[in-house]
Structure formats: structure tokens, C-alpha cells
Amino acid sequence: MVHRLFTQRFWHELFEAGVFLKAVNSLWETSVGLYLLSSVHPTLRGWFVFFTKEEFLGGRDEFIFQYISNHLNQLSLSTKNFVGLYLLFHGLLNMFLSYNLYRNRLWAYPVSIGITSLFLVYQSYRLFHTHSLILLCVTIFDIAFIYLTWHEYKYQLHKRHTS
């Protein structure tokens, strides 16, 4: 019995940490999405150069600086708007779901699993085409979060039926 409680407590704390990370990430995504939608196109490259110039120039990493800087120059307005809208929508949705999971609203568990699964399909598609390490990490986190949410949902259902 004690071992079972310890195990359930461990999974619950992992779930809460996941909800916290989702909430923090949703704030970041919402902020970046709003910034991208409200910023002038050349501003992105300007900010990148301002914050990273001293870090990259003159060293062996100058190639990375030039690559990213040139890529930001070639970023089309439609791409910037798509990324901005995607991040804004994804951030607001995750913020809403994180809040309701934190408040322990039973309906939020399956909704969160479903929506995260839909985003996983798109992330997998993008991962297949871009081979992005960051996207791979986000995808692995989302898979783990789905599992933790499912585990917590089963526990909450069991707890409510036995009470």
C-alpha cells in the first residue's frame, strides 16, 4: 500500500511538473506569436544580430551566425505570419488547457490528450521534413505528457468513483 501511494505520488508530481512546463511554454509561445505578428519583417534579423553578434563573430561559429542571419533575411512575410499565428494559437490553447488541468477539471484530461495528439501528428510531419532537434525534443516531451495525462486521468476517475 505504501509503495503504491509512493508510486502514485511520483506520477502525480511528474504530471504537475509537466503541466507547469506546458504553462511556461504557453506563455513563451503566446509572447513570441504576438511579437511575430506585430513586428516589422526586418526587425527579426535586427534582434538576432543585436543579441548574438558578439557571441559568434570572429570565432569558428561565425558560419552559424551567417547561416541564421541569412535565413532570417529570406523568411517570407507569409511564413512569419504562419509561424506567428501557429505559436499564438498553440500557446493560448496550451495556456487554457494547463489552467484547467491545474484546476483538476475532469473534462480537460481527455481534451488535452486529444489536442496534444493532433499537434503531435503535425509535429511528426514537420519532423520528417526538417529533422529539427528542437522539434524532436518537443515531440518526445509531448508524448511523455500524453502518457502522464492519461495516467493522471485514470487516477482521478478511480479516486472520484471510490470517494
Return per-residue pLDDT of the chain as tens, 163 residues. Answer: 556 656 888 999 999 999 999 999 999 999 989 988 887 655 555 655 555 665 555 555 566 666 666 666 666 667 778 888 989 999 999 999 999 999 999 999 999 999 999 999 999 998 898 888 888 988 999 999 999 999 999 999 999 988 7
| 59 belongs to a structural domain | no
| 8 belongs to a structural domain | yes
| 48 belongs to a structural domain | no
| 65 belongs to a structural domain | no
72 and 44 Cβ atoms separated by less than 8 Å: yes
**For the segment 69-97, what is each residue's pLDDT rounded down to a tens digit?**
666 666 666 777 888 898 999 999 999 99
98 and 19 Cβ atoms separated by less than 8 Å: yes
Domain that holds residue 149: 2-41+77-162
| 70 belongs to a structural domain | no
| 60 belongs to a structural domain | no
> How many domains is the chain partitioned into structurally?
1
**Residues shown for the chain:** 163
| 47 belongs to a structural domain | no
| 29 belongs to a structural domain | yes
Could you give the CA distance from residue 120 to residue 125 in angstroms, rounded to a whole number? 8
